[in-house]
C-alpha cells in the first residue's frame, strides 16, 4: 500500500511505515493535480500538514483512499466530518507538537520584552554608528517573572505554555469553555515534580487580569479577539497568536498597537491571509513575526512522524 506524504514526513515515520511493508511517496503534488495523482498511483493514505487541503473533491473522487492524516493539531484544511461520513479514517497528532509551539510562544515573548525583534533589524544597520542611541532605545525592558500570563484555550498546547510560564515564576490564568480545572505536573531534569491546580475563569476576567495573553484555540467563525476584547485589556498588554489565522482581528490589532500603546507589542505566527500576510503587519515595528513555524522543530516532526505511522499501522494492520 502507498502512503503519499504530500507535505513531507520525518524519517521516523518513513522508517516505521517501510518496516511495516508500506511504500512511502514523498512527492509534493500541487493541489489541482492531487486527484489524478492519487488515482493513478492507487494511494491508500494521504498525509498532509497545513499546505495541502483535503476537500470534497478529493474525498469524492479518490476511491483508493482509506486514511487522511494531518501532521499537527488543527484540521481546518480537511473536511473531516464529510470524510468520516464517507467511511474514511481521519487522524492527526494532537500531542506531538505542543511543547514546540509553547517554546515558540516564549521565544516571541522574550524577544519582545527585550526588543530583540527590533534590535536584530537595527544593529546590523546602525550598530557601529548609533550604538548609544540604540542602547537608550532598548533600555526599558520588562521581566516576565511575577507577571500574569493569560491562556485562552487550555488544551494540550495551552497547558504546555502554562507550564513554561509557571517555571518562570509567572501567575497563570486560563479560560476555556470546555474545561473547568486542570492539574498541571511540571517535570524537572532530576526527576523532581511539582503540581499546580489551575481553575479556569471567564474570558472577560482573563482579559482584565493578564499582562501577557496567548491564544490556543481552534479556527472559528468569529474573531476571538477584536475591538471589544482589546478595550477590556490592560494598558500595555502583550499578545501572542500561534494558534490559527483569523482568531485575532488583525485590523483591530494594528489599531490597538497604535492607540497610545493599548497593546504594547504582539507576536503572530499565523495570519488571516496566509501565506500572503498584509503588508501593514509585515512592516509594523511592534509586531514580532514568524511564518507559521510553531511545530517546526526536529523533535516535534520526529514525534509527528512516529505517531502518524503507528496510527496508520494500527488501522490498516
Domain map of the chain by residue range?
2-93+298-316, 98-289
- The answer to whether 37 touches 29, Cβ cutoff 8 Å, is yes
Beta bridge partners, 288, equal 267
pLDDT of residue 317: 80
Reply yes or no: is the peptide bond before residue 275 cis, omega within 30 of 0.
Answer: yes
pLDDT of residue 72: 87
* CA–CA gap between residue 192 and residue 10 (Å, rounded): 32
- The yes-or-no answer on residue 99 being catalytic is no
- The answer to whether 30 touches 53, Cβ cutoff 8 Å, is no
Q: Which of 49, 99, 216, 292 is catalytic?
A: 292
39 contact partners, CB below 8 Å, separation of at least 6? 61, 62, 63, 64
Span 98-289 CATH architecture: 3-Layer(aba) Sandwich (3.40)
Residue with cell 484544511: 77
pLDDT of residue 47: 98
CA dihedral 201, 203, 207, 211 (to 10 degrees): 50
Q: Are strands 171-175 and 181-187 parallel, antiparallel or unpaired?
A: unpaired
- The answer to whether 272 touches 245, Cβ cutoff 8 Å, is yes
> What single DSSP character describes residue 33?
G
Backbone angles phi, psi at 217, to 5 degrees: -120, 155
Backbone angles phi, psi at 73, to 5 degrees: -100, -70
pLDDT of residue 101: 96
Residue 20 has which C-alpha cell?
Answer: 511495516
> What single DSSP character describes residue 73?
S
Q: Would you write out the chain's pLDDT as a tens digit for each of its 317 residues?
A: 999 999 999 999 999 999 999 999 999 999 999 999 999 999 999 999 988 999 999 999 999 999 999 998 889 899 999 999 999 999 999 889 999 999 999 999 999 999 999 999 999 999 999 999 999 999 999 999 999 999 999 999 999 999 999 999 999 999 999 999 999 999 999 999 999 999 999 999 999 999 999 999 998 899 999 999 999 999 999 999 999 999 999 999 999 999 777 999 999 999 999 999 999 999 999 999 999 999 999 999 999 999 999 999 999 98
- The yes-or-no answer on residue 117 being catalytic is no
Q: Which of 117, 244, 250, 307 is catalytic?
A: 244
CATH code assigned to 2-93+298-316: 3.40.50.720
Beta bridge partners, 4, equal 25, 46
Residue 237 has which C-alpha cell?
Answer: 498588554
- The answer to whether 223 touches 249, Cβ cutoff 8 Å, is yes
Residue 152 has which C-alpha cell?
Answer: 485562552
**What is the SS3 assignment for 29?**
coil
* CA–CA gap between residue 136 and residue 304 (Å, rounded): 44
Indicate if 98-289 has the same CATH topology as 2-93+298-316: yes
Backbone angles phi, psi at 83, to 5 degrees: -60, -45
* CA–CA gap between residue 97 and residue 250 (Å, rounded): 25
Model confidence, pTM = 0.89
Q: Which of 103, 205, 272, 274 is catalytic?
A: 274
Taking residue 14's Cβ as centre, other Cβ atoms within 10 Å add up to 18
- The yes-or-no answer on residue 292 being catalytic is yes
75 contact partners, CB below 8 Å, separation of at least 6? 90, 92
Task: Report the Cα–Cα distance between both ends of the chain, in Å, rounded.
Answer: 11
pLDDT of residue 73: 84
Amino acid at each position: 500500500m502507498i502512503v503519499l506524504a504530500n507535505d513531507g514526513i520525518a524519517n521516523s515515520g518513513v522508517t516505521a511505515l517501510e518496516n511495516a511493508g508500506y511504500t512511502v511517496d514523498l512527492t509534493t503534488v500541487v493541489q489541482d493535480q492531487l486527484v489524478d495523482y492519487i488515482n493513478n498511483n492507487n494511494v491508500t493514505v494521504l498525509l498532509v500538514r497545513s499546505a495541502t487541503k483535503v476537500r470534497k473533491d478529493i474525498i469524492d473522487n479518490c476511491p483508493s483512499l482509506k486514511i487522511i492524516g494531518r501532521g499537527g493539531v488543527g484540521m481546518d484544511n480537511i473536511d473531516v466530518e464529510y470524510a468520516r461520513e464517507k467511511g474514511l479514517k481521519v487522524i492527526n497528532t494532537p500531542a506531538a507538537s505542543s511543547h514546540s509551539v509553547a517554546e515558540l510562544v516564549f521565544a516571541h515573548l522574550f524577544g519582545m520584552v527585550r526588543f530583540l525583534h527590533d534590535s536584530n533589524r537595527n544593529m546590523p544597520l546602525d550598530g557601529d554608528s548609533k550604538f548609544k542611541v540604540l542602547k537608550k532605545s532598548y533600555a526599558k525592558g520588562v521581566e516576565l517573572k511575577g507577571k500574569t500570563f493569560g491562556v485562552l484555550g487550555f488544551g494540550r498546547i495551552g497547558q504546555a505554555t502554562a507550564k513554561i510560564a509557571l517555571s518562570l515564576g509567572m501567575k497563570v490564568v486560563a479560560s476555556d469553555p470546555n474545561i473547568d480545572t486542570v492539574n498541571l505536573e511540571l517535570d524537572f531534569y532530576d526527576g523532581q515534580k511539582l503540581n499546580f491546580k489551575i481553575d479556569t475563569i471567564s474570558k472577560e476576567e482573563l482579559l482584565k487580569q493578564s499582562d501577557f495573553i496567548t491564544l490556543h484555540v481552534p479556527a472559528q467563525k468569529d474573531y476571538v479577539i477584536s475591538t471589544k476584547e482589546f478595550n477590556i485589556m490592560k494598558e500595555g498588554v502583550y499578545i501572542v497568536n500561534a494558534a490559527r489565522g483569523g482568531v485575532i482581528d488583525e485590523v483591530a490589532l494594528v489599531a490597538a498597537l497604535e492607540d497610545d500603546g493599548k497593546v504594547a507589542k504582539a507576536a503572530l505566527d499565523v495570519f488571516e491571509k496566509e501565506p500572503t500576510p498584509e503588508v501593514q503587519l509585515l512592516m509594523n515595528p511592534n509586531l514580532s513575526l514568524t511564518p507559521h513555524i510553531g511545530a517546526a522543530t526536529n523533535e516535534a516532526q520526529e514525534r509527528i512522524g512516529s505517531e502518524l505511522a503507528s496510527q496508520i499501522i494500527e488501522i490498516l494492520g
